[in-house]
Amino acid sequence: MKDKMIMTPGPTTIHEEVRKAMSKPIINPDLDIEFYEFYKNTSSKIAQLLNTNNEVLILSGEGILGLEAACASLIEPGDRVLCIDNGIFGKGFGDFVKMYGGECVYFSSDYRKPIEIKELKVFLEKDNDYKLATFVHCETPSGLLNPAKEISLLLKEYNILTVVDAVSSVGGELIEVDDWKIDIALGGSQKCLSAPPGLTFMSISSDAWKSILNREKPIIGYYCNLAIWKDWYEKKWFPYTQPISDIYALDCAVTRLINDEKRYERHSVIANAVRKALNVSGMQLYPLDGWSNTVTAIAVPEGINEKEVREYLLEKYNIMIAGAFGALDGKVIRIGHMGENCTEEKVFITLKYFDKTLRKFGVKLKKEIHKEFVDNLD
Ligand SMILES: *Cc1c(COP(=O)(O)O)cnc(C)c1O
């Protein structure tokens, strides 16, 4: 049988070169000095993608580990933390904050719109006594992109540390950690980087390091404790045995991405064409504004069971797309066009059979989605 097309917003398709890199013979990542150089080199390629001179760590565990490690390492009991919430991941950050004893204050706004800077400004003028703030660059479940630059720069005006979940934007949307003054930017291997799931990575600013290393109370736990990584390179010591094969794959995937100079243009052209094609065909996008170029979330038409639509697409055409979860369960259908999946061919095939499937379920489409997609690729 033909390989399944995994057009979900992560995990994404893994290129053959990346799979091969993963199967390379291993060396001993604790004892072989060569591996410390390899790890450092992979980290600097990620730093290049994040546009930062900050230190980058790669941790063994997927995206969520990064979110939890940032909270565990920065938050001391009683610290006030601002959680900017206009989506499922934004809200979820608050759970980690509370878990580590932080006093979580939400700035919540419409889940169908990006954060309104003016409103955040008004909020901060009244109350800005926060040690750190968390927010999400791309809210994957709703396909929404927040103005990370403006949010981060505004928070820094009040000396608030910024922790940004950029798991589903890094590599597909521009992110400039240094210019935007992001203290901790978090990513994952399985989204736009198109490496196997299993790794998270993060850039850590000197302010964030200061805060992590000068706490009053020690960090609870080990795996989520970023302080244990201090001096790993100087001492040639890892806190635990590194998942060397995963890192081989990640290195290959990041190299492919940084060699693709048109990566942001590619994501933007394809995402634009997807949105236009859906709009003129009469489908509604879930976000009303601020659409991400890495994933498109479509509002499920009245009377349609999105699970049945996805099952049909998978069983009949071998194409997997996604629904969502939590508050958005049953409300959106998502097509991922990130990383290796962001190609005209893959998106065309997906839309062609998505179109057929929608018709099969009685959705009246005004145009043929895949044809409109091609016509709008400019
Ligand atoms: C994918 C993703 C994560 C990682 O979480 P998993 O769902 O466990 O893969 C974190 N944040 C965002 C915004 C994501 O898209």
- Residues 44-74 pLDDT 10s: 999 999 999 999 999 999 999 999 999 999 9
Instruction: State the maximum Cα–Cα separation within the chain, in Å, rounded to a whole number.
Output: 64
Is 168's C-beta closer than 6 angstroms to any atom of ligand 1?
yes
Compute, in angstroms, the gap from residue 167 CA to the centroid of ligand 1. Answer: 6
CA distances from residue 108 to 82, 83, 117, 127, 229 in whole angstroms, order as listed: 10, 8, 12, 14, 34
Is 64's C-beta closer than 6 angstroms to any atom of ligand 1?
yes
| pLDDT computed for residue 1 by the predictor | 54
For the stretch 68-108, pLDDT in tens is 999 999 999 999 999 999 999 999 999 999 999 999 999 99
Compute, in angstroms, the gap from residue 18 CA to the centroid of ligand 1. Answer: 21
* Fold held by 16-259: Aspartate Aminotransferase; domain 2 (3.40.640)
Domain boundaries, the chain: 5-9+262-375, 16-259
Residue 42, pLDDT > 60, answer yes
For the stretch 166-175, pLDDT in tens is 999 999 999 9
Name the percent of the chain lying above pLDDT 90: 99
Q: Smallest Cα–Cα separation from 178: which of 54, 55, 57, 58?
A: 54
Compute, in angstroms, the gap from residue 50 CA to the centroid of ligand 1. Answer: 18
For the stretch 223-259, pLDDT in tens is 999 999 999 999 999 999 999 999 999 999 999 999 9
State which ligand 1 atom lies nearest to the alpha carbon of 136: 13
Residue with CA nearest ligand 1 atom 9: 63
Within 10 A of 125 (CB to CB), how many other CB atoms are there?
A: 9
pLDDT band at 14 (very low <50, low <70, confident <90, very high): very high
Mean pLDDT over each residue of the chain, to the nearest integer: 97
Residue 185, pLDDT > 60, answer yes
Residue 2, pLDDT > 80, answer no
Cα–Cα distance measured from residue 2 to residue 67, given in angstroms and rounded to the nearest whole number: 36
Q: Which helix (H) or strand (E) holds 317?
A: helix 306-317
Least confident of 2-11, 17-26, 90-99: 2-11
Is 8's C-beta closer than 6 angstroms to any atom of ligand 1?
no
Mutate to test the pocket of ligand 1, among 145, 168, 325 (most ligand atoms within 8 A of CB): 168
Q: Which helix (H) or strand (E) holds 96?
A: helix 88-99
| pLDDT computed for residue 322 by the predictor | 98
Q: Which helix (H) or strand (E) holds 112?
A: none
Is 62's C-beta closer than 6 angstroms to any atom of ligand 1?
yes
State which ligand 1 atom lies nearest to the alpha carbon of 140: 15
Compute, in angstroms, the gap from residue 122 CA to the centroid of ligand 1. Answer: 30
Determine phi and psi for 27, rounding to 5 degrees: -110, 180
pTM of the complete model: 0.97
Summarize the confidence of residues 111-125 as an average pLDDT: 98
Summarize the confidence of residues 134-162 as an average pLDDT: 98
State which ligand 1 atom lies nearest to the alpha carbon of 168: 15
pLDDT band at 177 (very low <50, low <70, confident <90, very high): very high
Compute, in angstroms, the gap from residue 92 CA to the centroid of ligand 1. Answer: 11
Summarize the confidence of residues 193-206 as an average pLDDT: 98
| pLDDT computed for residue 235 by the predictor | 96
Spelled out in words, what is the top-level CATH class assigned to the domain 5-9+262-375?
A: alpha beta
